[in-house]
Amino acid sequence: MVVAPPGAAAQGPGAAGLGDPYFPLAGNGGYQVDHYEIALAFRPRSGRVRASVAISAVSTQALSAFNLDLRGLRVGSVTVDGAPAAFRRSGSELTVTPGVPIASGRPFQVVVAYGGRPHPVKSPDGFPTGWLPTRRGAFVASEPRGAITWFPCNDHPADKASFRFTVTVPRSRVAVANGALESVTRSRRARTYVWRAPEPVATYLATVAIDRYRLMRGSAGGIPSWTAVLHRKARHQRFVLRPTARVLARFGSYFGAYPFSTTGGISVDGFDGVALETQTRPIYGTGFKRIIVVHELAHQWFGDAVSVRSWQDIWLNEGFATWSEWLWRTGGSDRGLRRIFRRLYHAPRRFKRALWRVAPGDPTPKKMFGLSVYNRGALTLEALRQLIGDPVFYAILRRWVAEHLYGNASTAEFVALAEAESGRELDRFFAIWLYQQKKPRGWQ
């Protein structure tokens, strides 16, 4: 038989989606992104952006064409490795055909110039996500599929990349993003903020927030911190965010050291009750409470450092963050944790459907941010702790973070790790807790 030399494989277009069971068209096949370099100028009065993104990627097959994900906005031009490329839009897919096909395993750079007024999209449970306008600015909260509203990307958590954001705003505004503030350039009328996030970020965890912020630089237990609070509420918001250092230290002692080089938080105008674990710098709607801060900081380990392999695994984010709230509340005491477990396990009838009829391991897109994913997900972890005991349980959590740091992991991998670390057969336990559409029996 004849073996073709590498690169001689037939060229074809990259797939339009990664085949996620919940969002088949999310992300794209044929390449992996290493870095997004986003330059964006925002005009608060018109709500419009003028932007470009330079995407450094590596092909995983020979590509005659490939897709990016983008919804709305107007694309002005696309280049691949500096040469103009043809492009076509259809729905949320931007198909790029380079002048010369890309060989397999080759690094390449795509630059897309685009602009217009970004509009949020609805999440499957009906909430607006992505680029969200506020009275004096805008902010980004993208879970699960909002990233496509503000930059062309490979929009799936399975393709994480580093980011740099260069954001230009009028001088009355401040722009915050993920990571570290590299520089601020001041001109007579404008300010340009450069933020750099060196550790891999899932596209839905990338953010920019623009408002009349007070930006505070500090340190949380030695980790450089940037916190953006609204002027009118600065005192209260600082108060609510104050325990950040303590939360990171406490969770660090249970889960392994805080995984990122910076921390902080961003308060947004309005959006009461809304929060998102945007990497290194969670977003908080006005009126946020301390326990929300605890929840979003727990996500820095569970969701951000270790991201879902597919959206169906969402309980690995929300169940873990909810259980971490319990850990914070009880200080890890066995009695305290069992008390919370009992209260929820014997929850009033009115919660029955939402909690027991929905399987947290396969909640469907519509229920992926529902009661079951958060609370039954957390109950699953707590039941596991009660079954195998603290030493093995915490060893599992630490190994989980260490082994998948900056990457992705699935429910099946968690089950396998729990079995390996505990030396027990746990298939049935997880089948009942995660996939059965009725209440697990025999617990107290």
Note the residues at the interface with Zn ion (CB under 5 A).
318, 321
Based on CB atoms, which residue is closest to Zn ion, 152 or 259? Answer: 259
Give the Cα separation of 67 and 87 in Å (integer): 9
Report CA torsion sign: 132, 300, 53, 173: positive
Among residues 349, 373, 351, 353, the alpha carbon closest in space to that of 362 is found at 373
Based on CB atoms, which residue is closest to Zn ion, 85 or 147? Answer: 147
Q: 168 CB contacts (<8 Å, ≥6 apart)?
A: 39, 40, 41, 42, 175, 190, 191, 192, 193
Give the Cα separation of 360 and 315 in Å (integer): 6
Q: How far is the CB of 370 from Zn ion (least distance, A)?
A: 12
Q: How far is the CB of 298 from Zn ion (least distance, A)?
A: 8
Residue nearest to Zn ion (CB): 321
Please name the residue ranges forming H helices in 331-389: 334-345, 352, 371, 377-388
Q: How far is the CB of 295 from Zn ion (least distance, A)?
A: 5
Based on CB atoms, which residue is closest to Zn ion, 229 or 321? Answer: 321
Q: How far is the CB of 369 from Zn ion (least distance, A)?
A: 8
Q: How far is the CB of 115 from Zn ion (least distance, A)?
A: 32
Based on CB atoms, which residue is closest to Zn ion, 30 or 259? Answer: 259
Q: How far is the CB of 179 from Zn ion (least distance, A)?
A: 21
Give the Cα separation of 310 and 19 in Å (integer): 9
Based on CB atoms, which residue is closest to Zn ion, 30 or 285? Answer: 285
Bridge partners of 116, per DSSP, are 49
Based on CB atoms, which residue is closest to Zn ion, 63 or 321? Answer: 321
Length of the chain: 444
Q: How far is the CB of 276 from Zn ion (least distance, A)?
A: 8
Instruction: Find the distance separating the first CA and the last CA of the chain, reported in whole Å.
Output: 64
DSSP H/E element including 191: strand 190-201
Based on CB atoms, which residue is closest to Zn ion, 179 or 377? Answer: 377
Please name the residue ranges forming H helices in 154-302: 234-241, 244-255, 290-298
Give the Cα separation of 321 and 306 in Å (integer): 12
DSSP H/E element including 49: strand 48-59
Give the Cα separation of 38 and 194 in Å (integer): 10
Q: Quick count: other Cβ atoms within 10 Å of Cβ 95? A: 18
Based on CB atoms, which residue is closest to Zn ion, 92 or 263? Answer: 263
Based on CB atoms, which residue is closest to Zn ion, 382 or 421? Answer: 382
Give the Cα separation of 277 and 258 in Å (integer): 14
Q: How far is the CB of 438 from Zn ion (least distance, A)?
A: 25
Based on CB atoms, which residue is closest to Zn ion, 57 or 283? Answer: 283
Place of tokens 């795509």: 110
Based on CB atoms, which residue is closest to Zn ion, 267 or 322? Answer: 322
277 three-class SS: coil
Whether residue 144 is preceded by a cis peptide bond, meaning omega within 30 degrees of 0, is yes
Among residues 176, 234, 160, the alpha carbon closest in space to that of 209 is found at 176
Q: Quick count: other Cβ atoms within 10 Å of Cβ 259? A: 19
Place of tokens 């839009």: 89
Q: How far is the CB of 321 from Zn ion (least distance, A)?
A: 4
Q: How far is the CB of 318 from Zn ion (least distance, A)?
A: 5
Q: How far is the CB of 292 from Zn ion (least distance, A)?
A: 9
Looking at residue 101, what DSSP letter applies? P
| Torsion angles phi and psi, residue 230, rounded to 5 | -80, 140
